[in-house]
Amino acid sequence: MSTYGHVTADRATGLSAPPPVTLTEPSGIDREAHHRLDEAWLAAAWSHPTTRVFVVSGGQALIDDTPDGRTELVMTPTFEAPVTETHRYFLGTDEDGVRYFALQKDSLPGRMDQSARPAGLREAGQLLSPRDAGLLVHAVALENWQRLHRFCSRCGERTVIAAAGHVRRCQACGAEHYPRTDPAVIMLVTDEEDRALLGRQVHWPEGRFSTLAGFVEPGESVEQSVRREVREEAGVEVGEVAYVASQPWPFPSSLMLGFTARATSSRITVDGEELHEARWFSREELRAAFASGEVLPPYGISIAARLIEGWYGEPLPRARPRT
């Protein structure tokens, strides 16, 4: 047995629990969904002097570093917020009674002090407090859904925003549309020698390896999806599947369901469509590949990094976020 932080890894099985997953820690925010249809309450909440708001645009918001070394979302009182008629989303209330809203705009506002910078979740998710990270992932998920679902899937007419950003309503046929979340499985597969199966997708840079992943298909359980995706992408058969943790992943609208899995075969045949290559790594081989630069680790915000660390037994090298 080996212990790494919150990880206890069983060398005999390789199935282990990873460290805490980014974006899943308690945020301290009560979403108070029962207020979303109460326009009078929302108006009063918006006008309250303690209410705070931030702008989200293209999956990014402004963040700023504080003198004491923390990183925070740039939030303002509502009277300082940019004007918007419809794209105002109520995100919830914290333990101190402060309410939070996000505004969807075509661009982020400028900052007179020039110290703030735009950032997406891949960069900011690891820097922000659980409260701010939770607010940002909620806002980004709503923004992505709003941008992609402006027309009614029943009759094709334009829809309008309702329920403080959490519903789109068709005034032509009366249909209501809700934010969608697509379940996706992501898995750390190990073989009888306790080696880990890592792959490189066709559009990734040379050397970037990570766990395998894919979307759950209609009429399919998540365990069936794990086995199918590994077989389709790498040609490897999987037996035992164990759930580990989930992670919201609004790029644009997924919920990543993390698993460990035990391979019952070891011959690799990549599909050439999803994966360009896949390899079995022992811990020693992966450590040497990281050191030489032959292999680049997955991005630290992803649950993939936590799944690999649960098997690897120590933190992975840090990968630079995409810009």
Q: How many Cβ atoms sit within 10 Å of the Cβ of residue 294?
A: 13
Residue 322: which pLDDT band, with cuts at 50, 70 and 90?
very low
Q: Which of 22-26, 32-36, 45-49, 280-284 has the lowest mean pLDDT?
A: 22-26
pLDDT at 11 over 60: no
pTM of the model: 0.86
pLDDT at 85: 63
pLDDT at 5 over 60: no
- Paired strand residues for 179: none
Q: Give the span between the Cα atoms of 237 and 58, in whole angstroms.
A: 39
pLDDT at 256 over 70: yes
pLDDT at 201 over 80: yes
Q: Give the span between the Cα atoms of 200 and 310, in whole angstroms.
A: 20
Q: Is the distance from CB of 185 to CB of 257 less than 8 angstroms?
A: yes
pLDDT at 212 over 50: yes
Q: What confidence tens digit (pLDDT) does each residue in 127-171 have?
A: 999 999 999 999 999 999 999 999 999 999 999 999 999 999 999
